[in-house]
Homo-oligomer: A and B are copies of this chain.
Amino acid sequence: MQVFNFCAGPAMLPVEVMQKAQAEMLDWQHQGVSVMEVSHRSAEFIELAHNAETNLRQLLNVPDDYHVLFMHGGGRGQFAAIAMNLLGESGKALYLNSGQWSKAAAVEARRFAQVDELSIVESMEGKQQVVLPELKSDMGDYRYLHYCPNETVDGIEIHEPINSPWPVIADMSSCILSRPIDVSQFGLIYAGAQKNIGPSGLSLVIVKKSLLELPALPMPSIMDYRITAANESMFNTPPTYALYLAANVFQWLQQQGGIEAMGLKNQRKADELYAYIEQSHFYRSGVAATNRSRMNVTFQLADESLNGEFLAQAKARGLLALKGHRAVGGMRASIYNAMPHQGVVALIAFMDEFARNN
């Protein structure tokens, strides 16, 4: 049975990448050992890490005045690292709250500094919608503005750029590499790896060098952007196997035609799924059309007492991990880069059959 895995994260990886990893598991580059068994300071591994950075820079067209850092600890680690690295003794920051993850980022930053929060989601006719306020420099002396362009749990995406007088920091954990972005519009972009990059335990940070000129709070060295940059992400042993898989995902993306081609493919997958939901009376989306996530499609059954049956039948058909996050309930189909179009076709076919039978 063909299986399609809609898990929000750790998420499915491209099958070609997984097959390559399997083939090389015991013998990487004809060395007779696994890539996870070699020194991160070996010439072979340093070349892998170097290629990973080069390919990522190419994919996202990262300007030269930005560092690309591979770090430990996932997105939550970065919630803390950002505040410790950029706020210093007395810095303040503004956090836009659009759902579960942006809220969690603000909570973590508040451990270290003063954080103002601005809620930007409103409910209109039962649907959640993002309403961006006008941001003016006299609102506060902020070192940065933090937001989450794609809320994995809520299925809310902010499609338009943020017009901000302060450097913009974006948690792109669940939308990185899914569509073209203009890196130069951001002060810092970060992402936990486990959606569109690789396995969990790795995080990616793209940071404008000029943001690191101010002195930082005392912090763990492995979270210090300055130390990480000076040591090319090898101050301590990096999560080498995760980095190897990420490097292969970057190569796979290039083989797919890069981020522009990926963006079109992702748009088509999301459009077809939302179009089906929209015309259905059996399913509904709780997010306004302007803010629907292309990566995490949340939806509800009109009759929620059928949720258990829906999930059980889906699983029996090889459609896995469709249950919504425990904080919001309902259903969620995460359709990251690695999800093929036919996965969405299979999901729609099942949803339609389930609706007709019930």
Partner of A236, one of B34, B74, B112: B74
Per-residue interface assignment for chain A, residues 196 to 207, with 1 indicating a CB less than 8 Å from any chain B CB and 0 otherwise: 000111100000
Give every chain B residue within 8 A of A76 (Cβ-Cβ). Answer: 221-222, 235-237
Whether A3 contacts B31 in the complex (CB less than 8 A), given A76-B222, A241-B200, A242-B241, comes out as yes
Report the copy number of this chain in the oligomer: 2
Give every chain B residue within 8 A of A241 (Cβ-Cβ). Answer: 199-201, 241-242
Check A348 for interface membership: any CB of B closer than 8 A. Answer: no
Interface hub of A12, A199, A202, A238 (most chain B Cβ within 10 A) = A199
Complex CA–CA separation, A38 to B13 (angstroms) = 11
Check A211 for interface membership: any CB of B closer than 8 A. Answer: no
A82 to chain B, nearest CB (A): 11
Q: Is the CB of A38 within 8 A of B10?
A: yes
Check A257 for interface membership: any CB of B closer than 8 A. Answer: no
A346 to chain B, nearest CB (A): 13
Instruction: Determine the residue in chain B with the shortest Cβ distance to A18.
Output: B26
Interface hub of A10, A223, A321 (most chain B Cβ within 10 A) = A10
Check A312 for interface membership: any CB of B closer than 8 A. Answer: no
Complex CA–CA separation, A239 to B76 (angstroms) = 13
Partner of A10, one of B12, B19, B39, B194: B39
Q: Is the CB of B199 within 8 A of A38?
A: no
Check A47 for interface membership: any CB of B closer than 8 A. Answer: no
Q: Is the CB of A37 within 8 A of B74?
A: no
Give every chain B residue within 8 A of A8 (Cβ-Cβ). Answer: 39
Complex CA–CA separation, A240 to B10 (angstroms) = 8
Check A72 for interface membership: any CB of B closer than 8 A. Answer: yes
Give every chain B residue within 8 A of A13 (Cβ-Cβ). Answer: 34, 36-37
Question: 6 closest pairs, A vs B, by CB?
Answer: A201-B239, A3-B32, A80-B220, A76-B236, A22-B25, A36-B199
